[in-house]
Structure formats: structure tokens, C-alpha cells
Amino acid sequence: MSLHMIKLCVGVSEVEWLETRAASGQPLVVHTRMTPKRAAEIEDGGSLYWVIKGSIACRQPIVDITTLGEGKESRCEITLEPRVIRTAPMARRPFQGWRYFEPKDAPADIDTLDAGEAPDELVRQLRELGAW
């Protein structure tokens, strides 16, 4: 089972910003100071879950984790797929850096949620707003 990461998306107020950036087709590279010790588990199908304005809003699959440099000069680059997958909103308190995120704790992708008896138009509008 793969392991995920969770990170604050600082300075971004809407998922659309990430989607616009992803539309270029270029992989997104996230720079961090520390390399995850469990990188092999994360690269085996893990995703980076983004917290936007106090709520997990979306995820991007992780393609590669690379450590550059050595010693105090080292840093980590996390390469993400240019695909943004919206998730069911889940409140998260602020934290620094990134955290490991177990699959059992991760919110479901919006596309996989069952709408139940809700009218199709209402479900479509809620999904567009990121509320479903």
C-alpha cells in the first residue's frame, strides 16, 4: 500500500490556480529542505494532498522524489504529475512543512463519491464549487 504526503498550498485560495498551472502539461516540482525517509513507499503510487484555505481540496500523484546536493546544501525535489484530482473537502489545521498521510486517512476523490438521491444539476454545481 502506498503512502501519501500532505502539504499546505500557501498563498493559493482556489484549486483552479493549481489546475491552471497543471494545464501547461509540465510536471510541477515542489522543493523541500528534507527528503522523506519513506520516499520509496511514497513513490509507489502516493500522492501529495494539498491543503487550501484550511481544507484538503485536491491531490496530485507523485512521480519522483530526488535529493540534490549533500550535507547542509542538500534539498529535495518532489515531482508531481500535471494532473489535479479534486477530493472531498476535509478540514485541516495549519502545520509547517509536509506530513506523511496514511491512505486510510485520505479523503475520497470527488469523481468516486456516490451522489445518492441528489439531483444531477445540484451534484454538478457542488462538484464545480469543490464542495462535493
Render each residue's pLDDT in the chain as its tens digit; 132 residues: 689 999 999 888 888 888 988 888 888 999 998 899 999 999 999 999 999 988 899 999 999 999 998 888 889 999 999 999 998 888 888 888 889 999 999 988 887 765 555 666 666 677 667 665
Give the predicted TM-score (pTM) of the model. Answer: 0.81
Per-residue pLDDT reduced to its tens digit, 4-41: 999 999 888 888 888 988 888 888 999 998 899 999 99
Question: What pLDDT, on a 0 to 100 scale, did the predictor assign at position 82?
Answer: 92
Question: What pLDDT, on a 0 to 100 scale, did the predictor assign at position 1?
Answer: 66
What is the C-alpha separation between 45 and 56, in angstroms, rounded? 19
Which residues are CB-neighbours of 76 under 8 A, at least 6 positions away? Answer: 31, 32, 33, 34, 35, 36, 65, 66, 67, 68
**What type of residue is 122?**
L
Question: What pLDDT, on a 0 to 100 scale, did the predictor assign at position 132?
Answer: 58
| Contact between residue 52 and residue 14 where contact means Cβ atoms under 8 Å apart | yes
Q: Could you give the residue ranges of the DSSP H alpha helices within the chain?
A: 15-22, 39-43, 120-129
Question: What pLDDT, on a 0 to 100 scale, did the predictor assign at position 69?
Answer: 87
| Opening angle at CA 70, ends 67 and 72, nearest 5 | 110
